[in-house]
């Protein structure tokens, strides 16, 4: 993450206190979490969604957390029946 604590809060910064080395961790090659986060695609449009990447076998950050967009979509929207055209509210 690019988030860092300001100098005013350095006494509370675990990375500084414990000298945690910075590590860059990349998502698996086919993972499209970045595109989902940017709103470029919806979770089911990811190549790995619901196949290789599930809540039981998460590959990307958005499936790891139960509050992630992919995990929430998998649990709550994936099996939802489509709304009938006659019951849709006009925009």
Per-residue model confidence (pLDDT) at position 89: 55
Mark 38-50 as b/e (b = at least 16 C-beta within 10 Å).
eeeeebeebebbe
The parent domain of residue 34 ranges over 27-78
**Phi, psi for 53 (deg, rounded to 5):** -110, 110
Does 19 reside within a domain? no
Does 35 reside within a domain? yes
pTM: 0.60
Helix, strand, or coil (residue 10): helix
Does 32 reside within a domain? yes
pLDDT in tens, 29-87: 889 999 999 999 999 999 999 999 999 999 999 999 889 999 999 999 855 555 555 55
- Judge contact between 1 and 25, C-beta under 8 A: no
Task: Report the number of distinct structural domains present in the chain.
Answer: 1
Does 13 reside within a domain? no
Does 71 reside within a domain? yes
Does 46 reside within a domain? yes
Closest by CA to 32, choosing from 1, 74, 70, is: 70
Does 12 reside within a domain? no
């Amino acid at each position: 993450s690019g988030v860092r604590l300001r100098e005013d809060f350095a006494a509370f910064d675990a990375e500084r206190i414990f000298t945690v080395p910075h590590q860059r961790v990349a998502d698996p090659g086919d993972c499209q979490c970045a595109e989902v986060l940017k709103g470029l695609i919806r979770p089911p449009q990811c190549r790995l969604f619901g196949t290789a990447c599930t809540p039981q076998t998460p590959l990307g950050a958005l499936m790891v957390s139960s509050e992630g967009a992919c995990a929430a979509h998998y649990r709550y929207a994936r099996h939802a029946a489509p709304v009938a055209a006659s019951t849709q509210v006009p925009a």
